Amino acid sequence: MGKTALLKKIKKELEEEYLIAYVDLTQNYTYQIGNLNKNGLMEQFFNSWIIELNEKKLNPIAQKIKKVIKTKKIKLSDIMDVSGYPVPILESETNPKELLDFVIELPQKIYDKNKDKIKGVIFIIDEFQALNDLGKNLKSFLWFFRSYIQNQKNVAYIFSGSVNSNDSIIDKIAGPKGAFGGRVLSVKIEPFSKETVKTYLNKGLTNLKFSNDGFERFYKCTKGIPHYVNTFAKLLTKDTLLTEEMVKNEFINCLPFLADQLKQKWGGLTLREQKIIICLLEKPLKRKEIGDKFNQKSSSLSAPLNKLLNDGFLEIQEDGKYAINEHILKEWLKQEYKYKGVFPYRSE
C-alpha cells in the first residue's frame, strides 16, 4: 500500500528539524533466524540511533554513551568505532534489563543534549507485526516500553506495518486496555483513488493511453494499490489506446509479474495452509464449512487459519466468513490452474 514509501518521505521532509531513526523489524537479525528477542531489538534500535546521529553530525554523545555503558555495567565484548561513535558489541550474558533501560532512554538523552539544534526526536518502527514473534513476551515488552516512553518529552514513536484488522497486536498496542491505549493516533493508509491514479499516470507515463472503460478496468485490476499500479502500468503497451478488452488480456499476461512477491510468500506456506486458501478460491466460507471440506473439526484448523489471517492472506468478513484478502493472488492461482491443470502446491 505504500507505507514504507510514505514513512521515508516523512523522514526526508522532517529531517531538517528532527532527528529521525528508522528500523524495519523484519531486517532484525534475531527475527530472521526465528528467535526475535529483546536484546536483538535493543541492538537494532541502538544502531539505528547511531547511524542517524552520525548522519546529522550532532553533538557527539560518544563520551556520554561510554559513561552510561560503564555505569549500567553493560557487558561488552568490544566497542567498535564508527566515525567517532561507539557501537557496542554486546555480550550474550548482558543483563537485558540494563540494556533495555539504556537504549529506550537514549532518544530522550539525544534530545536533551541537542535541543538547541532539533525540535524533537522521532523513532519509526516499520513492520511492527514482527513483534508478534515475541510470543508470550509481547505484552510485557510493550508495557515495559510504555513505562519509559510515557515520561519522554519531544520524543514520538511511529509504529507501521501490515496486520489483519482483527490481529490482537493492535489491541495490545492501541486498544483501550493496550499498552498505549488512548495515546495512539491510528492512520490507515488507503489505496490511491481513481483520480490520484489518473493524475499519477498522466504525470509519470505520458505515453500510456486508456479509453474510458480501459482505465476503469485498469483501476479494477490494481485496486489503486501503488505497487500494482506501478508494475502493471510499466508492463502495458505504450502509445496505443488501451480498451477494456486489451487491459483485461494484458492483466492475465502480467499476473506472474504482479504476483511476484506473493508467489514467494505462497511458497513459504505449508501444504495445509495452501489447501485452505485454495478451498476459499471460489467463495468465502464459514469456519465450520472449511472444516467440513477437510473432514475435520474446525477447531483443529485454528492454528493455520490464524497464521493465514496474521500473514494477511485471509480476512474475516462481516458475516463471519473467511475470505482471501489478496485479489492478485486469487487471480494468479486461478490462471495457474487454468493453464497447468493443477494448483501450484508445494511438494511435501
Ligand X SMILES: Nc1ncnc2c1ncn2[C@@H]1O[C@H](COP(=O)(O)OP(=O)(O)OP(=O)(O)O)[C@@H](O)[C@H]1O
**CB closer to ligand X, 144 vs 200:** 200
Q: Which stretch binds Mg ion (CB under 5 A): 4-12, 94-102, 253-261, 337-345?
A: 4-12
Which residues contact residue 222 at a Cβ distance below 8 angstroms, ignoring those fewer than 6 apart? 197, 228, 229, 232
Cell triple for 155? 520524543
**Window 180-219: contact mask with ligand X (x via CB under 6 A):** ----------------------------------------
Nearest by Cα to 236 from 263, 204, 261: 204
Beta strands in 211-303 (DSSP E): 241-242
Q: How far is the CB of 160 from ligand X (least distance, A)?
A: 8
Amino acid identity, position 18 = Y
CB-facing half-sphere around the CA of 49: CA atoms within 13 A: 26
* Interaction between residue 235 and ligand X (CB under 6 A): no
The residue sitting closest to ligand X, measured at its beta carbon, is: 2
Minimum CB separation of residue 129 from ligand X in Å reads 9
Decide if residue 54 touches Mg ion (CB under 5 A). Answer: no
Residues 162-181 within binding reach of ligand X (CB under 6 A): 162
* Of 11, 139, 209, 227, the one binding ligand X by CB under 6 A: 227
> N- to C-terminal Cα distance for the chain?
33
Can residue 226 be called a binding residue for ligand X (CB under 6 A)?
yes
Cell of 11: 523522514
Q: Which residue is nearest to Mg ion (CB)?
A: 4
**Distance from C-alpha of 72 to C-alpha of 100, rounded to nearest angstrom:** 11
Measured over the CA atoms of residue 201, residue 202, residue 206 and residue 210, the dihedral's sign is: positive
Helix (H) or strand (E) holding 29: helix 29-32
Q: Which of 4, 39, 108, 243 binds Mg ion (CB under 5 A)?
A: 4
Nearer to ligand X, 2 or 291 (CB): 2
**Residues lying near ligand X in the complex (CB under 6 A):** 1-5, 162, 226-227, 230
